[in-house]
Structure 1
């Protein structure tokens, strides 16, 4: 472990299709902070795709069940799920450092179990020590990921693979792109540290509905 706390996703970078990029920081992240380091990407919902309430659901349809608890027995993860939206500057919110043992669900994507990519974000470490996704790098293909939603249902996903990517070349479309499948992505920081103590990579775990 580096004596310098690793960063979490923060900085924004505009691109043609209005993607939102966020960087990794162990400190609580807000729009005013200037955290250097790599990036994780999340696309904005387009007006074309969003429903009247901004969720992408047709008017009058029942909203998707929200995830409230995440369990990965094989690596000892059992965490409530907080909701993560967008900051005022368009960057994706992340769990604050003081809630490092709590993962978050990005509400701009699909809800787990719905068609599309559901994205969960968690710290690896914060200035307070190890965090919820500290051992995510040890997860194996075929591992079970269980998510309980606010209607009491427990959904299961099977890990299909993992990928470590440079934060400079984060595969936005692969992670957040539209799909008819019911898939799940877990994201945290990973890799070596740069000269400023920032991890240079992201770890992505891919899973499909069991």
Structure 2
């Protein structure tokens, strides 16, 4: 996926082609250069090798400096996690939470800040070699469910789930997920589905939400 991303003071350059998807053996996030589970156990999460590169989002005015997100809560499916920052690896792929922090989700700093115009992206593992991870039950989330994202200043933005879909990693809907939009949108990404012969999850689960 090779697209151009408009940079702002709160956004980093986007990953190279195949930057957001499922880490296959490693869990759910995005970075073949820094696999979450190098031992090759069956974990599920997004992996940058499998999906196209994101398109740019619509940034906030240059004068605005949004406060970074600190925590995500989805009460209906038992998610309550601090948010780590996910940037880029040296090879241009998106970083992923380490396997030992499988119960912690991450905010991709190359996209929008949650609550600001554009698509904000939060990535989390489904499972890792240590067991069940933060987005293990994300598939149970339903349309209309509330997703709360609290920022570092203590302000909480509430998003409403509008849709979810399971897609093949090699057919990731890049423009739909990362494409520029004036909506204050949120996307949650994890891995899903069966494993291929090398133990890589073949699908991504994507949850779409918009600010209330």
Query: TM-score, normalised on structure 1?
Result: 0.80
Corresponding residue for 2:138?
A: 136
1:39 maps to which of 50, 57, 60: 50
More strand by share: 1
Q: 1:26 to 1:69 in 2, by over 3 A?
A: farther
Shift, 1:198, TM fit: 1.5
Question: Is the 1:68–1:82 Cα contact (8 Å) retained in structure 2?
Answer: yes
Report the CA distance shift for 1:25/1:194 in structure 2 as closer, same or farther (over 3 A): closer
- Contact persistence 1:75–1:139 (CA under 8 A): yes
Q: CA offset at residue 15 of structure 1?
A: 3.7
What SS is found at the alignment partner of 1:43?
Answer: coil
Change (3 A) 1:146 1:56: closer
Look up the match of 1:84.
86
Instruction: Check whether the contact 1:70–1:146 (CA below 8 A) recurs between aligned residues.
Output: yes
Q: Distance in 1 between matches of 2:86 and 2:48?
A: 20
Aligned residue pairs, count: 188
Spell out the pairing of 1:73-152 with structure 2 (5 A cutoff).
73-152=75-154
Structure with higher Rg: it is 1
SS in 2 for 1:204: strand
Structure 1 Cα separation of the partners of residues 48 and 91 of structure 2: 18
Contact kept in structure 2, 1:67 and 1:150, CA below 8 Å:
yes
Any conservation in 2 of the 1:37–1:198 contact (CA below 8 Å)? no
**How far does residue 57 in structure 1 lie from its aligned partner after superposition?**
5.3
Aligned to 1:169: 171
Are residue 206 (structure 1) and residue 208 (structure 2) matched?
yes
Once the two structures are TM-superposed, the CA of residue 115 in structure 1 deviates from its matched residue by: 0.3
- Which sections of structure 1, spanning at least 5 residues, go unmatched? 1-13, 50-54
For the residue of structure 1 that corresponds to 2:18, the secondary structure is strand
For 1:21, what is the secondary structure of its paired residue?
coil
Please name the residue that 1:24 is paired with: 23
SS at match of 2:121: strand
Counterpart-to-counterpart distance in 2, 1:207 and 1:72: 12
Instruction: Give the corresponding residue for 1:153.
Output: 155
In the alignment, structure 2 segments of 5+ residues that lack a partner are 5-14, 41-46
TM-score with structure 2 length normalisation? 0.79
Q: Which deviates further from its counterpart, 16-25 or 28-37?
A: 28-37
Quote the residue 2:68 is aligned against.
66
Once the two structures are TM-superposed, the CA of residue 62 in structure 1 deviates from its matched residue by 3.3
